[in-house]
Amino acid sequence: MIRVLVVDDHPVLRAGLEAVLRSEPGFACVGAAADRDELLVLLRRTRPNVVVLDRRLGAEDGLALCREIRSGPVAPEVVIYTANDDTTEEDAQDAGASGVIVKTRPVDDLFDAVRLAARRAVA
């Protein structure tokens, strides 16, 4: 079971991501956060394998948060989830993310990115 934590500042999108992740066999959505503070609490409490992280959380930079998450001793993998296609794979990888998915892509692309990230976490 892949344990996924969702981080997005938009309540409807956050709820939608939780719902689609819970509906996919092999995934367990272990929580959802709206900002950095909630994220850090849930990371310790839920110990996800993968974090699906919004690129822009209000005034917060998702890539900076990704670096912070990945600097921990037992860091989950991160998939950057973005509304714009201005974040490249290279930008995401430089921040320590496994990949980047644009929100307009089909949900199966998100599932694939989460699965790839989880495989990377095990390797």
| pLDDT above 90: residue 87 | no
Domain boundaries, the chain: 2-122
What mean pLDDT is predicted for residues 69-92? 89
**Residue 100 backbone phi and psi in degrees, to 5:** -135, 140
What mean pLDDT is predicted for residues 4-17? 96
Give residue 121's pLDDT: 73
What CATH number does the domain located at 2-122 have?
3.40.50.2300
Q: Is 83 exposed, middle or buried (0-12, 13-18, 19+ CB in 10 A)?
A: middle
Residues 102 and 81: their CA atoms lie apart, in Å, by 6
Neighbours of 46 (CB within 10 A): 17
pLDDT digits (tens, 9 = 90+) for 16-72: 999 999 999 999 999 999 999 999 999 999 999 999 999 998 889 999 999 999 998
Average pLDDT, the chain: 93
Beta-strand pair 50-54/2-7: parallel
Residues 95 and 5: their CA atoms lie apart, in Å, by 18
Structural tokens at position 56: 């822009």
Spell out the SS3 assignment of 37-71. Answer: HHHHHHHHHHCCCEEEEECEECCEEHHHHHHHHHC
Structural tokens at position 65: 């948060």
